[in-house]
Amino acid sequence: MSSYPKINPADATVLITGSTQGIGLATAKAFANLGARVAIGDLNEDLAKTEAQALDALGGYLDVTDAESFANFAKATQDNFGPIDILVNNAGVMPNGAFLDLDPQVDQMTIDVNVFGVVNGMRTVLPQMINRGRGHIVNIASLAGKFPVKGLAIYNASKFAVVGLSAATRLEYAAAGVSISAVLPSAVDTDLASGLDMRPIPKVTPSAIAEAVVASVGNRRAEIAVPSYVGGLATAAGLTPEPMLNLIRKAIRDDRALSQDAPERHAYRSRINDQAANSSTAQKRVK
């Protein structure tokens, strides 16, 4: 049993980032179905408001890379629903390709979204959670935060960072009654992994991840792999001698993420390239 103060999802305020599609939207629906007061934050403000209306939730603009934007959306959430009980840091991007072929702008954006987006969220909500003596934060990491994959070097780096950040801050704030959990999905059947053949790593549905996020409110576990057995496989891989592991990697063709040429991935890659370019332009204007 968890020693953290209990949180009833049916009477909780939940802020979810990157929540107009995929894991984020599935999680918003799962909490809303339980009766939670849900806030849907996303770069696509119109879509956030549309999805929120269908769930009787709050929808609005949220750029997780901008601490002020996060603070503004958190304030709007609290003004509408009261103190935030649960934060789900879900927003993320996953560019693929050989390390030296990746666009530095996309690299920067990946770290900004996947790492500092989580940092900004935690720094925004942790103080009020600590003051209240209760709260729960879920950081959507990845199996790639435990297991490196060719073609996902920067994504790997970002998710390893989220796993470490979650573990360290969990230790720091446990005594304050605030739990921090990292959810580690394998490949997920969303735009993020579109066109990538990651076999034998299983693809799971967004709803399966949402179920794990909701369950974490009760179990408050430090790390939650989805499906559960992939966590054990990642641990086993870390204990396997490198020559043997390399043979296994070769047998399963672990280099497929190096290719950027899958037609199914063109739209997603174009979108994150545009996002990176816009982010870079904004940073230059600030300077």
Which pLDDT value is given to residue 91? 96
Which pLDDT value is given to residue 28? 98
pLDDT tens digits, one per residue of 242-282: 676 565 556 656 655 556 666 666 666 777 778 888 875 44
Distance, in Å, from the CA atom of 287 to the CA atom of 283, rounded to the nearest integer, reads 6
Catalytic residues: 155
CATH class of the structural domain 9-286: alpha beta
- Which amino acid does the sequence have at 182? A
Helix (H) / strand (E) containing 183: strand 178-185
Please tell me the total number of residues recorded for the chain in this structure. 287
Cβ–Cβ < 8 Å for 15, 87: yes
Cβ–Cβ < 8 Å for 208, 27: no
pLDDT tens digits, one per residue of 80-124: 999 999 999 999 999 888 999 999 999 999 999 999 999 999 999
pLDDT tens digits, one per residue of 221-245: 999 999 876 655 666 556 557 676 5
pLDDT tens digits, one per residue of 164-207: 999 999 999 999 999 999 999 987 765 655 545 555 566 789 99
- Which amino acid does the sequence have at 5? P
pTM: 0.85
Which of 84, 77, 41, 35 lies closest to 55, judged by CA? 35
For CA atoms 131, 134, 140, 142, give the dihedral sign. positive
pLDDT interval class at 286 (50, 70, 90): very low
Which of 80, 46, 78, 79 lies closest to 60, judged by CA? 46
Distance, in Å, from the CA atom of 192 to the CA atom of 22, rounded to the nearest integer, reads 9
Q: Order of strands, edge to edge, in the sheet holding 178-185? A: 58-61, 37-42, 13-17, 86-89, 135-140, 178-185, 223-226
Cβ–Cβ < 8 Å for 143, 225: yes
Cβ–Cβ < 8 Å for 171, 145: no
